[in-house]
């Protein structure tokens, strides 16, 4: 660095401490970037890349942005996952000896943004901390803009990944205890900004005590401390608005892994990654930014507490029953600004006068909100109203101090109300009277000189001046005016009298601005003391907003209050998919029933493609989720147990980031359900096994069904195109076949979208291809091939079933013996061989009854797997008699 100029050396020293950030280096009215930062920023921000001489052998790449327009540029970089270090002058250039001292005053990252323009008002913006201690993973996360702070622990990395995915976390701070693979999952698969932060030995742990009052476990404390220490080191601002950490006990909420949240499209759609088309889109009738964020949090963490859910139902019912009062409530809420983020900006020190004006207006609506709530007959709503804190003393303070229409910035003046501070009033009076004197002087000079175009103006360089056009210069009296500036068509003058008044006016204005800034700072500090009460008020207002949203949606869409039961029964009458119903403009949605109880815990769903199997499965899960966030549900009636977890495997997609195929993703998601589901869970599995060969897929599907049935006992919906699996209802007592009906008329298929008992007859795959618009010649050829295949299959099936009937004992051996099955696969091209070495069956008196049963079987109408199951049952019966 010796060859570089002192300023560039200063830049490089500071940049060395912030190598993972763009360094915005303040030079005058610009933020400048140099070297690699400049090259990369020019590309990302699409600004001009230039160069300058920095004292070295080559010119240095350079680009810059105006200081006053920096917000949008910073927003662009942060949204793309970058960090920006703001480097400001930290000493007065007038007193500096040599290069003005500069240092980083703030690091803006995806998880620490505070400016309103960089935040989505209806979504939280979380910064998280992740660590691994004693084979357990800790996750602490904070929304710096609202002060919400949470911490939890999980025992597996996959669960940690789900918890991170299920929340709007933008950045994660990690320790070196995470493996390289785990770090790559966070950065590449979850696409988070990853920051490394090591806790120093010299940390004052006592300074974190206020945030750890609810946290007593050491590993959880360490997670919170790492997170807060990172924020303190990067922001260098007050964090008085940060609330004590709240421990999230996952056992108290409905478990939704990342696959289920994605498959069910709770907050965004899988295809467009947008809100429209999601469950959130249907339910969101909130009118405040706080309520919008709160609704999303409720969707992220549905409840298991039956008492709390019934309280929510009762409040929604109370809001539904009184339309006029509910409409008044919505009007009151619409006038309330974002109290959470206003509190955050107050604590952070970046609140502006307009923000405090919004706070004042919001508080002025609380008394009316309390009055509206008192008019409801629901005791729950009345209680919320009684508990609302009006913060009357804060409202009075703001009304007395703030001007009615304050400016956005602190430099313009006009922030403080007249009459609030006597000294400020004196300065303002001097300034206003001085300007009146200037106006009077201008009129006087015009009359004395007879120059109607004479005017008195002002600029920062010369102050006040008298301007006279050159055509009128001969009218000026001699000796009174002192020439100050010559223009093309005019001359500017000053007089001793004007100069004296100028000093008084400018001094009053300068002192007035200084005093206003001081008074505003003092006001901001006074507001800080009310932050905890403001946050509590914000929580109650948010709750009201979400509940009224539920009431509005329930009334508009015809939702009903669900009944929660401690029994195993799930009964939904005329249930509907809330999203599909909303987007169907013709109002022709076909509702369906479902009943699952102690006797029937599994439904095996068959039916044509596009008939609505997946929609039916999703609507059951969405109904459960809506019920467990306290919302009414889309049905004629619904009786539901409280589920502990929902697992889904719906849809198929390759995971290109981690290099996993469709089938591998399918198996991993199925494994997750099988590992963690309980008998109180809901499992939705859609066409498991379709990603591999027919027989592998069929075998896996049957094994999964049997495992869930025999070992888990969860309520399960399983859709399939393997019609052979429908025979499982004969051996699995808690499984029932249902199908989505369709009719064929004049060669055309009509999907009825109605769930009916029993298995489906056909798949109608070629008809679906026809609907998709495949060429007619291709469709005709497919029909010919289908007829040939069905004909050959019938012949093979008849021969094999006859042969199987003779050797049913060898069937069991082929199924159990893996080598025999493998050998059987090699013996045939298109069918699973059921044959191995045949053993004779003794014809004693004990087998006569079994032979009679065997003769009664209609083998020619049975599928191979039907025959296999029937023969297996006969074999078991034979073994029992022996």
Residue list for the binding site: 607-614
> What sign for the dihedral angle of Cα 178, 179, 181, 184?
positive
Task: Give the H or E element holding residue 172.
Answer: strand 169-174
Closest CA to 362 of 384, 340, 346: 340
Q: Could you tell me if 857 and 804 are in contact, meaning their C-beta atoms sit under 8 angstroms apart? A: no
Q: Could you tell me if 309 and 628 are in contact, meaning their C-beta atoms sit under 8 angstroms apart? A: yes
Cα 735 to Cα 733: distance, rounded to the nearest angstrom = 6
Residue 826 CA: distances (Å) to CA of 820, 822, 868 = 10, 7, 19
Tokens of 492: 């500017």
Tokens of 670: 């199925």
Task: Give the H or E element holding residue 231.
Answer: helix 218-235
Cα 177 to Cα 163: distance, rounded to the nearest angstrom = 19
Backbone φ and ψ of 468, nearest 5°:
-130, 135
Cα 247 to Cα 262: distance, rounded to the nearest angstrom = 25
Cα 34 to Cα 54: distance, rounded to the nearest angstrom = 10
List of residues 6+ apart from 529 with CB closer than 8 A: none
Cα 803 to Cα 834: distance, rounded to the nearest angstrom = 9
Cα 257 to Cα 844: distance, rounded to the nearest angstrom = 58
Q: Could you tell me if 830 and 790 are in contact, meaning their C-beta atoms sit under 8 angstroms apart? A: no
Tell me the H-state helices in 489-647. Answer: 496-528, 531-557, 578-583, 613-627
Tokens of 543: 């709750």
Backbone φ and ψ of 749, nearest 5°:
-95, 130
Tokens of 203: 């940390």
Task: Give the H or E element holding residue 603.
Answer: strand 602-606
**Which residue has tokens 């079933």?**
801
Eight-class DSSP state of 208: G
Q: Are strands 136-143 and 148-154 parallel, antiparallel or unpaired?
A: antiparallel
Q: Specify burial of residue 171 (Cβ count, 10 A radius: 0-12, 13-18, 19+).
A: buried
Task: Give the H or E element holding residue 795.
Answer: helix 776-806
List of residues 6+ apart from 389 with CB closer than 8 A: 366, 533, 536, 537
Tell me the H-state helices in 236-321. Answer: 258-264, 279-283, 289-300, 306-321
Cα 284 to Cα 552: distance, rounded to the nearest angstrom = 9
Cα 767 to Cα 606: distance, rounded to the nearest angstrom = 16
Kindly give the interhelix angle for 531-557 and 289-300, rounded to the nearest 10 degrees: 70
Q: Could you tell me if 30 and 65 are in contact, meaning their C-beta atoms sit under 8 angstroms apart? A: yes
Cα 445 to Cα 457: distance, rounded to the nearest angstrom = 13
List 129's β-bridge partners, or say none.
140, 173
Kindly give the interhelix angle for 353-374 and 379-387, rounded to the nearest 10 degrees: 140
Question: What number of residues does the chain have?
Answer: 882
The angle formed by the CA atoms of residues 514, 519 and 521, to the nearest 5 degrees, is 95
Tokens of 589: 């949605």
Q: Could you tell me if 386 and 367 are in contact, meaning their C-beta atoms sit under 8 angstroms apart? A: no
Which residues carry a binding-site annotation for ATP? Answer: 607-614
Residue 298 CA: distances (Å) to CA of 233, 311, 561 = 32, 15, 18
List 468's β-bridge partners, or say none.
491
């Amino acid at each position: 660095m010796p060859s570089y100029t002192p300023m560039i050396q200063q830049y490089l020293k500071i940049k060395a401490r912030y190598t993972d950030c763009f360094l915005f280096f303040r030079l005058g009215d610009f933020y400048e970037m140099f070297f690699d930062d400049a090259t990369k920023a020019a590309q990302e921000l699409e600004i001009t890349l230039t160069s300058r001489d920095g004292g070295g052998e080559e010119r240095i790449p350079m680009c810059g942005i105006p200081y006053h327009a920096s917000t949008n540029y910073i927003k662009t970089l942060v949204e793309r996952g970058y960090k920006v270090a703001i480097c400001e002058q930290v000493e007065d250039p007038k007193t500096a000896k040599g290069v003005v001292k500069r240092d980083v005053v703030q690091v803006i990252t995806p998880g620490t943004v505070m400016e309103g323009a960089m935040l989505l008002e209806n979504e939280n913006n979380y910064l998280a901390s992740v660590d691994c201690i004693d084979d357990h993973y800790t996750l602490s996360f904070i929304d710096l803009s609202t002060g919400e702070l949470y911490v939890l622990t999980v025992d597996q990395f996959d669960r940690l990944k789900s918890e991170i995915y299920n929340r709007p976390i933008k950045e994660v701070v990690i320790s070196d205890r995470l493996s390289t693979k785990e770090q790559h999952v966070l950065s590449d698969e979850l696409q988070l900004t990853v920051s490394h932060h090591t806790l120093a030995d010299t940390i004052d742990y006592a300074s974190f005590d206020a945030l750890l009052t609810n946290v007593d476990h050491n590993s959880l404390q360490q997670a919170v401390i790492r997170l807060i220490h990172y924020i303190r080191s990067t922001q260098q601002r007050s964090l008085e608005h940060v609330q004590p950490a709240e421990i999230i006990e996952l056992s108290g909420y409905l478990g939704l892994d990342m696959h289920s949240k994605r498959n069910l499209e709770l907050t965004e759609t899988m295809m467009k990654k947008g809100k429209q088309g999601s469950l959130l889109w249907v339910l969101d009738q909130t009118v405040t930014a706080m309520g919008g964020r709160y609704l999303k949090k409720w969707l992220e963490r549905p409840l298991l507490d039956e008492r709390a859910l019934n309280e929510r139902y009762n409040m929604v019912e109370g809001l539904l029953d009184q339309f006029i009062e509910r409409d008044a409530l919505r009007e009151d809420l619409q006038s309330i600004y974002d109290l959470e983020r206003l509190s955050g900006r107050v604590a952070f020190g970046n609140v502006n006068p307009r923000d405090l004006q919004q706070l004042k207006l919001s508080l002025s609506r609380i008394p009316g909100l309390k009055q509206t709530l008192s008019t409801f007959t629901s005791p729950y709503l009345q209680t919320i109203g009684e508990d609302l804190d009006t913060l009357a003393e804060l409202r009075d303070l703001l009304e007395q101090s703030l001007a009615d229409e304050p400016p956005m910035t602190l430099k313009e003046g006009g922030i403080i109300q007249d009459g609030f501070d006597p000294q400020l009033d004196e300065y303002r009076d001097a300034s206003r009277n001085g300007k009146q004197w200037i106006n009077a002087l201008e009129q006087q000079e015009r009359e004395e000189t007879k120059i109607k175009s004479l005017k008195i103006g002002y600029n920062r360089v010369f102050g006040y001046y008298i301007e006279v056009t050159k055509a009128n210069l001969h009218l000026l009296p001699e000796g009174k005016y002192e020439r100050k500036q010559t223009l093309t068509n005019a001359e500017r003058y000053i007089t001793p009298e004007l100069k004296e008044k100028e000093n008084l006016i400018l001094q009053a204005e300068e002192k007035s601005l200084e005093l206003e800034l001081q008074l505003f700072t003092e006001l901001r500090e006074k507001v800080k003391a009310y932050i905890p009460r403001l946050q509590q008020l914000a929580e109650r207002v948010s709750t009201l907003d979400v509940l009224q949203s539920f009431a509005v949606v329930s009334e508009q869409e015809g939702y009903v209050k669900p009944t929660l039961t401690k029994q195993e029964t799930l009964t939904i009458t005329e249930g509907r998919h809330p999203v599909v119903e909303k987007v169907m403009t013709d109002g022709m949605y076909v509702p369906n029933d479902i009943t699952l109880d102690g006797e029937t815990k599994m439904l095996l769903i068959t039916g044509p493609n596009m008939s609505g199997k997946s929609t039916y499965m999703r609507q059951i899960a969405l109904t459960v989720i809506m019920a467990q966030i306290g919302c009414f549900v889309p049905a004629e009636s619904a009786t539901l147990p409280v589920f502990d977890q929902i697992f889904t495997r719906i849809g198929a997609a390759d995971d290109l980031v981690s290099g996993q195929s469709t089938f591998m993703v399918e198996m991993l998601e199925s494994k997750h359900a099988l590992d963690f589901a309980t008998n109180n869970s809901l499992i939705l599995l859609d066409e498991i096994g379709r990603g591999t060969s027919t027989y592998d897929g069929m075998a896996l599907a049957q094994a999964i069904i049997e495992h869930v049935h025999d070992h888990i006992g969860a309520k399960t919906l399983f859709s399939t195109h393997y019609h052979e699996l429908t025979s499982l209802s004969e051996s699995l007592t808690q499984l029932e076949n249902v199908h989505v009906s369709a009719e064929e008329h004049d060669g055309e298929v009509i999907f009825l979208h109605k769930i009916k008992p029993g298995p489906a007859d056909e798949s109608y795959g070629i008809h679906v291809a026809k609907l998709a618009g495949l060429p007619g010649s291709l469709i005709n050829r497919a029909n010919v091939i289908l007829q040939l295949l069905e004909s050959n299959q019938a012949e093979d099936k008849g021969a094999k079933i006859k042969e199987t009937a003779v050797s049913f004992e060898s069937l069991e051996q082929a199924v159990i013996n893996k080598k025999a099955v493998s050998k059987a696969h090699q013996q045939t091209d298109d069918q699973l061989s059921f044959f191995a070495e045949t053993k004779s069956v003794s014809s004693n008196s004990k087998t006569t009854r079994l032979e009679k049963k065997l003769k009664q079987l209609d083998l020619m109408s049975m599928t191979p797997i039907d025959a296999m199951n029937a023969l297996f049952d006969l074999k078991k019966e034979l073994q029992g008699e022996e």
